[in-house]
Amino acid sequence: MRILVVGAGSTGGYFGGRLAQAGRDVTFLVRPARAEHLRETGLQIVSPHGDVTLTPKLVTAAAIGAPFDVVLLTVKAFALDPALDDMAPAVGSETMILPVLNGMKHVDRLRDRFGEGAVIGGACKVAAAIDERGRIVQFTGLQDFTYGEMNGSATPRIKALDAVMQGAGFDARLSPAITREMWEKWVLLAALGGINCLMRGAIGEIEAAPGGAEFALAFLDEVVSVVRMVGEAPSEAAVAGAKAMLTTKGSPATSSMYRDLQSGARIEADQIIGDLLDRGRRAGVTTPLLAVAYTHLAIYQNGLPASRGVATL
């Protein structure tokens, strides 16, 4: 099975690198500058599960010669549109597109561009970043990758994908409820991101402040109320887990969006908070905390240099 990984950043580089290390047929679609760096240094992973330096197969958009069996889409949500143009030559009539972006807006964009049947569901959890040397550094042992048909069916193609993903050096799981799990991930991302960014602190710091735990739970309630109206309702276990995680005493937990904000980088404000707010408004759900969070993040995003983009809704 030929796999094209779109992006060799912290997520695509990590999971794609582990797949390549396990002997899978993996090619990375990268920009020319990233390709040059990877050719010079190799794809380097620093991880609690073992460090590795690989010589990856690379391709740029202009050099894609034939469709791939799987396109693993790992770019940031705000980079989706140019990525769709770049990967289009790799998508054939039998290609599975496996996105692991945040939120759900990308699913609509992929279906509009390539057809509903091309898209399968995916969700991953890994705490990693690209360091100043261009290495992929994994901070914790978490490395979960879940996938499945959006309608939950056990098709031959998803079983074939599962066979490729198993034993590849990370925790892979075929899910019959991937759509619900994607919505559940969005619930946690939106709540954690909004809480961290509004309060400018880690979960433990917020919990220790007067009214901090109550604020966190109120924010989560708004997020869940929107998802129950416009998406697939999260399970009781998922909501209970989110409540516990967002109010844990002494927790250092922060979202990647908060870490990006602290470093002055572009953030996924539209995709994680703005789109959820917009869906809630159209469904008639009142979400004052989500609205404040989006305004707050949009002010930050609009203050970035023009080359980094502007938040819109």
Residues 83-131: pLDDT tens digits?
A: 999 999 999 999 999 999 999 999 999 999 999 999 999 999 998 989 9
End residue of a domain, out of 147, 176, 205:
176
Pick the catalytic residue: 57, 125, 159, 185?
185
Q: Are residues 263 and 145 in the same domain?
A: no
Does 167 share its domain with 189?
no
From the CB of residue 221, how many other CB atoms can be counted at a distance below 10 Å? Answer: 15
Q: What is the pLDDT of residue 306?
A: 64
| 59 falls within a domain | yes
- Would 187 be classed as within a structural domain? yes
Same domain, 226 and 279: yes
162 plus 235 within the same structural domain? no
- Which of 176, 203, 238 marks a domain boundary? 176
* Virtual torsion, Cα 143, 149, 153, 158, nearest 10 deg: -70
Domain count, the chain: 2
Q: Is the same domain home to 188 and 171?
A: no
160 with 188, same domain: the answer is no
> What is the predicted pLDDT for the residue at 312?
29
Is pLDDT of 50 > 50?
Answer: yes
**Residue 214 pLDDT exceeds 90:** yes
In a domain, 313, yes or no: no
Are residue 79 and residue 143 in the same domain, yes or no?
Answer: yes
261 within 8 A of 311, measured Cβ to Cβ: no
Q: Are residues 22 and 155 in the same domain?
A: yes
Q: Quick one: average pLDDT of 299-304?
A: 94
Say if residue 310's pLDDT is above 90: no
Active site annotation includes 105: no
Q: Model pTM?
A: 0.91
Which sign does the torsion angle of CA 291, 293, 294, 298 carry?
A: positive
Structure tokens at 139: 């901070």
Whether residues 21 and 92 fall in one domain? yes
- Say whether both 168 and 231 belong to one domain: no
Looking at residues 38-49, what average pLDDT do you find? 96
Q: Within a domain: residue 22?
A: yes
**Is the pLDDT reported for residue 151 higher than 90?**
yes
Q: Write the CATH number for 256.
A: 1.10.1040.10
Tell whether 101 and 156 lie within a shared domain.
yes
**Separation CA 95–CA 253 (nearest Å):** 37
Instruction: Answer yes or no: do 186 and 113 share one domain.
Output: no
Containing structural domain, residue 58: 2-176
As a whole number, mean pLDDT of residues 192-196 equals 98
Q: What is the 3-state secondary structure (H, E, C) of 194-224?
A: HHHHHHCCCHHHHHHCCCHHHHHHHHHHHHH
The encoded tokens of residue 81 equal 């549109």
* Mean pLDDT, residues 128-151 taken together: 94
Residue 239: alpha-carbon gap to chain centroid: 20
Q: Is residue 303 part of a domain?
A: yes
CATH of the domain at 121: 3.40.50.720
